[in-house]
Chains A and B, each alone.
Chain A
Amino acid sequence: MASGTEVLTTPLVAVHKSLKAKMVPFGGWLMPVSYTTVLQEHKAVREACGIFDVSHMGEVMVTGANAAAFLQHLTINDIEKLKDGSGQYSAMLHEHGGMIDDLIVYRLKADKYLLCVNASNTAKDFAWIDKQARKFSEVQVADESNLWSQLAVQGPASAKAVEALIGATDLAQFRSLQYMDIMNLKLFGKAALLARTGYTGEHGYEIYLPNEVAEKTWAALLETQPVTGIQPIGLGARDTLRLEACYLLYGNDMNDEVSPLEAGIGWATRLTKADFIGRAALVQQKEAGPKRSQFAFVMVEDGIPRSGMDLYRNGEKIGVVTSGSVLPTVGGAGGMALIARGKANLNDEVEVDIRGKRKLARLVQKPLYKAKVKG
């Protein structure tokens, strides 16, 4: 759990340093930004396979007879849709509708749920979850972030790489695992969890595992390199991969003041379900129309958009770039932007203020890169 100014490290920090990774502080953690180069690593994930240390992510366990009712109140998606061993993308809101965090909720059992939250938000999230849980009886919440490491294995060859970890008795279940499903497995004798999800737009997995087997599991996955082409990937390529797939990044594309309707995740927001925190504000927003909405864009003129740059149309400031970068697989550069309502439409040309120079861009259909997660 991130606290104070102390920089945290994952159980794999020595491995990253031995691989000569460039290390940077991220969300209170010292994390690898790249091992080779961002572009090389990006390509490797799209074409073969990458392994990411994402142990900085937070894990919160929610248990008890009223766990489902509590999560139905806490989060925007519909918990009733979950079966044992399945997960859903969701978010927690303030009463005013702004996002506290986005997260994945996994139902492990009817009375046991795993919440995967953003590293930099773990302390804030847990304080909020704990406070809300006090209104319910028979709900226990536990911040287990210190107990779990997390590895993401992503790319077309990821199934082959992860299969090397799967025991004979689990193989059938592994092979039938659907997108957003989660299963139990044993790694070097320790109980772990394997989810079919990710943050790259490729077929992939996220493994929740006890810290003490992180290094061995990392090594076992990398041993599949001759067959899978697997290589370590840093946070730099993680960001360009997720941006092409138009997956949101908390702190960039959304924050405490941006609602899920504005951020473009209305699809995960179940206004039809019974009350949840922030619902009243969202219903109001929906009736009035959200003040702004999120668009994807690509640059028409030369230049690389970055988070925080202003967006103009016909000389008028209409919004702001929330994430921007080169787009290694799509080609060129582009990103995502929050634009005031009624100020622009899909396919419109807009201008990005790149350090004082207005450069043409075009609003395009999301995503920039069509995810292959379900294939």
Chain B
Amino acid sequence: MEFPVGLKYTKDHEWIELSSGVAKVGVTAFAIDQLGDIVHVDLPKVGDSFEAGAAFGTIESTKTVSDLYMPVAGKVVEVNKAATDNPESLQSDPYKNGWLVKLEVKGTPTAGSLLDASAYEAFVADGSH
């Protein structure tokens, strides 16, 4: 299972790619594997603002619905229509084309609560999540 090193991760299994002011957010390959077939993704509207840790949408498999949580505070500037139109595409590509929203990050994101790739990998390997 792949956990790209350039990304930061949450214990709720979202990833975030932080670059100058705009960030991409998605869900990890681990989360996708746990969920199974992804059949529906519900995302916010452009312009919606969220605090860090706030639920911003849902991802749904054949059996369960899970909330999506914001890794950082910010305003949605773009949603990935390809992901909502073809949710099953997240299974093969949860990182590159599988981003869910782009955010205008509010303030300076505190990377403190976010995990790097190796810490996240250790976290999911531990099995107590």
Contacts and interface: CB of A to CB of B under 8 A. Distances in A.
Contacts of B63: 33, 38, 236
Contacts of A326: 39-40, 62
A37 B92 CA distance: 13
Interface in B92-117: none
A304 B37 contact: no
Please tell me the size bucket of the interface on A. 10 to 19
Contacts, number: 35
A39 interface: yes
B53 interface: no
Interface in B7-42: 36-37, 39-40, 42
A121 interface: no
A326 B37 CA distance: 11
B36 A236 contact: yes
A131 interface: no
B82 interface: no
B17 to A, nearest CB: 27
B36 A38 contact: yes
B58 interface: yes
Interface in B75-93: none
Contacts of B60: 304
A33 B65 CA distance: 16
Nearest to A42: B62
Given A236-B62, A240-B62, A326-B62, A37 B36 contact: yes
Nearest to A303: B40
A39 B37 contact: yes
A216 B42 CA distance: 45
A304 B36 contact: no
Contact of A325 (B36, B58, B62): B62
Contacts of B65: 304, 306, 355
A355 B65 CA distance: 10
The 10 closest A-B pairs by CB, nearest first: A38-B62, A39-B37, A326-B39, A37-B37, A304-B40, A37-B36, A38-B37, A304-B60, A236-B63, A326-B62
Given A303-B40, A303-B42, A326-B40, 4 more contacts: A38-B36, A236-B36, A302-B40, A355-B58
16 contacts: A22-B36, A33-B63, A34-B36, A37-B36, A37-B37, A38-B36, A38-B61, A38-B62, A39-B37, A39-B39, A236-B62, A236-B63, A304-B65, A326-B40, A333-B39, A333-B40
